[in-house]
Copies of this chain bind each other. A is one copy, B any other.
């Protein structure tokens, strides 16, 4: 059985790998993500390499093997199902659930996970719009477009918000910017580095492109 520390390394490695478009993940990046000293990562990655969970290229970086990826996806599945469960059943705020799920993801058995999945009617995304891997370890890879790339006049539906920070999430929710909401891009001004969107039945909001880049939509 993988310890919860190992599960965290694999999960974080998976997420970094995604972020950097499938390149090897640098040790420093992983150290930051894990909030751990660089030397600790080197040591850990070596042992994960010996267990066949990662492929390690000294001085270059590291990536998951297939079995490491399967394990990472299983952790991610638990994390995301738990998040949705916390929002839907226990009515926590979406800005809180990431932290809670960080703990619970290591303590949920397959039996309980299956019950949650069933209760939520086999959902495919968590409250932030992040896809929930299947029990078999498959992830739907729908291509979405970032709000920061939308043209003026675009009509779309928010599908995903990529920021687990409570601050940003509370802000977004307060302005009506959460998954499921329909929006119209009122104005995208490259020079002003800003996007103005109008969520359905809400006041228009203007946000910088850095913030807009964290919100992904599906064109309508």
Q: Is A192 an interface residue (CB 8 A)?
A: no
Cα of A92 to Cα of B104 in the assembled complex, Å: 18
Binary flags per residue of A63-107, CB closer than 8 Å to B gives 1, else 0: 000000000000000000000001001111000100010011011
Contact yes or no, A92 B115, CB < 8 A? yes
Shortest Cβ distance from A119 into B: residue: B90
- Copies of this chain present in the complex amount to 2
Residues of B within 8 A of A103 (CB): 107-109
Q: Is A111 an interface residue (CB 8 A)?
A: yes
Cα of A107 to Cα of B82 in the assembled complex, Å: 12
Contact yes or no, A111 B89, CB < 8 A? no
Cα of A109 to Cα of B104 in the assembled complex, Å: 9
Q: Is A116 an interface residue (CB 8 A)?
A: yes
The residues of A with any CB-CB pair to B shorter than 8 Å are 86, 89-92, 96, 100, 103-104, 106-109, 111-112, 115-116, 119
